[in-house]
Amino acid sequence: MNFPYSFNSVAVERSSAGPTLQVEMLMRSEIDAILPSANQLMALIMESHCMPENEGDLEMAIREALANAVLHGNLQDPRKEVRISCSVQPGLGISIVVKDQGKGFDPTKVSDPTAIENVLSESGRGIHLMKALMDEVHFERGGTEVHMRKGVRGKSSSSV
């Protein structure tokens, strides 16, 4: 079977705080790669036993980040890839970085999808959803990287 993703590495590092899961994935820049890649990443996170309160929130944010990378970043260019880095620290939370090979964008210029004039727009909801579902979301490298963090129950993600 030809998977739409591959692993650069999957590692468990041990420290005094407990084992930390580090995952590095590459995903083809195709719409059909989003769901299986998100599902595989979620399976690894679930195995780590370090889930935030609502795993559905994390899964939706991952899917939105991957969709944005494929559709808006890489423009579905099959020659480009999406890089996914995930760090899971039991007791602290989850940190995910999704990188595309696109031209980037200015996140301050993204329209608010909840504004009346944008309610019927077919795009623009992904960033809003990620910010609503995760504890922290910010963009780096000219908008080609989204960094997301989610703490575990009762813990702040600021230490992740």
Residue 160 lies in a domain: no
Output the pLDDT for position 158: 46
48 lies in some domain: yes
Look at residue 159 and tell me if it is in a domain: no
Does 137 map to a domain?
yes
Q: Does residue 128 belong to any structural domain of this protein?
A: yes
This prediction has a pTM of 0.86
pLDDT digit string (tens) for the chain, length 160 residues: 467 778 777 887 776 666 788 999 999 999 999 999 999 999 988 887 776 667 889 999 999 999 999 999 999 999 999 999 999 987 788 999 999 999 999 988 887 777 787 777 777 788 999 999 999 999 999 999 999 999 876 544 444 4
- Classify 126 as helix, strand or coil: helix
Domain at 95, CATH number? 3.30.565.10
Range of 143's domain? 5-154
pLDDT of residue 139: 97
Q: What is the pLDDT of residue 154?
A: 52
Q: Which of 93, 70, 89 is nearest to 4 (CA)?
A: 70
Structure token digits, residue 13: 């590092």
Residue 88 lies in a domain: yes
Number of domains in the chain: 1
Strands in 16-119 per DSSP E = 18-28, 81-89, 93-99
Q: What is the pLDDT of residue 160?
A: 43
